[in-house]
Amino acid sequence: MATALIILAAGQGTRMNSDLPKVLHRLAGAPLLHHAMRAAEALEPERTIIVVGHGGDAVRRAALAFDENAETVTQTEQRGTGHAVAQALLALGGFTGRVIVLFGDTPFITLETLEKLANSQADVTVLGFHTDSKPQRYGRLVVENGKLTRIVEFKDASPAEQAITLINSGVLACDAALLNELIGALGNDNASGEYYLTDIVGIAHSRGYSVVAETCAEAETLGIDSRQNLADAEKVFQARARAEALENGVTLHDPDTVYFAFDTAIGRDATIGPNVVFGPGVTVESGAEIRAFCHLEGCHISRGATVGPFARLRPGAELAEDCHVGNFVEIKNTILDEGVKVGHLTYLGDAHIGEFSNIGAGTVTCNYDGVSKHRTEIGARVFIGSDTMLVAPVTIGDGAMTASGSVITEDVPTEALALGRAPQVNKPGLARKLFEKFKADKRKRQKESE
Query: What are the residue numbers of the active site?
Result: 344
| N-term to C-term CA, the chain | 94
Where b means 16+ CB within 10 Å and e means fewer, 231-257 reads eebeebbbeebbeebeeeebebeebeb
List CB contacts of 346: < 8 A, sequence separation 6 or more.
Answer: 328, 329, 330, 359, 360, 361, 362, 363, 364
Helix (H) / strand (E) containing 431: helix 430-449
- Looking at the DSSP bridge assignments, the partners of residue 152 are 140
Angle between helices 199-206 and 176-184 (to 10 degrees): 100
Q: β-pairing, 271-272 with 251-252? A: parallel
Counting beta carbons within 10 angstroms of the beta carbon of residue 214, is it exposed (0 to 12), middle (13 to 18) or buried (19 or more)?
A: buried
In order of 280, 423, 439, the CA distances from 304 in angstroms are 22, 42, 56
Distance between CA atoms of residues 406 and 441, nearest Å: 35
Sequence-separated (6 or more) residues with CB below 8 Å from residue 307: 288, 289, 290, 291, 294, 296, 301, 313, 319, 325
Strands 324-336 and 306-307, how do they pair?
parallel
- Residue 415's CB: how many other CB atoms inside 10 A? 13
